Amino acid sequence: MWRAADIPTDKYYEVRAECTDVPKTKFKIKAGKTLSIRKWKSSFSPEGYVDIGRTLTRIYQGGIHPDIRGEVWEFLLGCYDPKSTYDEREQIREDRRARYTVLKAECSSLFPLIGSGKYVTAPIITEDGEPSQEPIALEQLTMENGQCITLEKETDKKIIEWKYILHQIGLDVVRTDRTLVFYEKKENLAKLWDILSVYAWFDTEVGYCQGMSDLCSPMIMLFQDEADAFWCFERFMRRTRANFRYTERSVGVEKQLCSLATVTQVIDPKLHHHLEELGGGNYLFAVRMLMVLFRREFSFGDSLYLWEMMWALEYDPEKFATYEDPDDECKGRAKSIRNYGKYEKEAMKNGGGKDGEAPLPISVFLVASVLKDKSARLLSEARGLDDVVTVSKSLM
């Protein structure tokens, strides 16, 4: 029998037996360091207020026990205010579930495959709004009961853009975390597709971009209720959606890449010069690491631990705003520096970011530290941009 401190987290995120080349999770549940179920429950008052300050150190030092990870994430990501009561949170939860039901029903009315347990991986519509005539698309438009969905020409630009991206979501869904036993079940793949499709309709400015499935996938596993998974993902996207904004002139993480270059130049000027000579001074090889926050560099379990560690360090209760009142930024509440994450506290002491901007995200410093740690290998092995990309893939 496993002791609490010996339980391997791979037990919670089982990998398919045939996938032997998947990195093993290094994170372990450690008694006295990992935020345990008992410790988490003891942070609640009888009314339901959470003493979030007493949990943050545990989280960034030892992570969160997988059995309570989803519940704690909702607080770390700002789904709920720690100063709310049990009753208040239950009401908010019910309201959000109802709101998601409306959103999903709206999407289903536009495309009935939403919520059917199926998904598409072939284009169902052209960029001009014409229904696709591809045999694979027509086959995928058949419901489980044999009824075929008939599409008509679309003229609404918003609907065309949304329907056109649905197959790309499907293609990414079937490639996301397929080494996990959890995604052997078709219904879990369909759930991931549904949430991403609804989000693309909900957030029309960003819509859907490749990589978002990597961020949403853990939510599907942590929350039984689809609506709860959606809103936790939506909160996560509030932190990262700028990463997925593309224009003809820039990529979403360009600012972070520039910061990474500056930091690397300071801590390892020799490596920075070497990368510049290879034409990698723009640090584009780090786009994936920053965009999906190391989901593809670490094992599944380790990436979740890394996320919650960063969230705990960067925790700032003043940034919370409820869905019901977006302008309510903790109005009238007394500030308590005790309830801020360690990284955020240091930023406050130092007057915030440069020129009043927010401080650099921890992820930038994490990538820089990894580059520094692997500097010797990059200097000896990287003789071209392809080499930089190859080595960077194995940095972790």
Using the predicted structure, report yes or no on whether residue 63 has a pLDDT greater than 90: yes
- The per-residue pLDDT for range 161-196, each reduced to its tens digit, is 999 999 999 999 999 999 999 999 999 999 999 999
Percent of the chain clearing pLDDT 90 (strictly above): 60
More confident residue, 285 or 331: 285
pLDDT number for residue 298: 87
When the candidates are 2.60.40.1120, 1.10.3720.10, 1.10.8.270, 2.40.30.10, the CATH number that belongs to 88-237 is 1.10.8.270
The pLDDT of residue 332 is 41
Please, what is the end-to-end C-alpha distance for the chain in angstroms? 31
Report field, pTM of the whole predicted structure over 0.95 = no
pLDDT at 130 over 90: yes
pLDDT tens profile 223-273 = 999 999 999 999 999 989 888 877 666 667 888 999 999 999 999 999 999
Q: Which residue has the higher pLDDT, 353 or 197?
A: 197
pLDDT tens for each residue of 1-52: 344 455 667 778 999 999 888 888 888 888 888 999 999 999 999 999 999 9
The pLDDT score that the predictor gives to residue 188 is 97
pLDDT for res 64: 95
Q: Which of 30-34, 125-129, 283-287, 355-359 has the lowest mean pLDDT?
A: 355-359
pLDDT at 254: 87
Q: Is the pLDDT of residue 329 over 70?
A: no
Of the listed ranges 106-120, 143-157, 222-236, 294-308, the one predicted with least confidence? 143-157
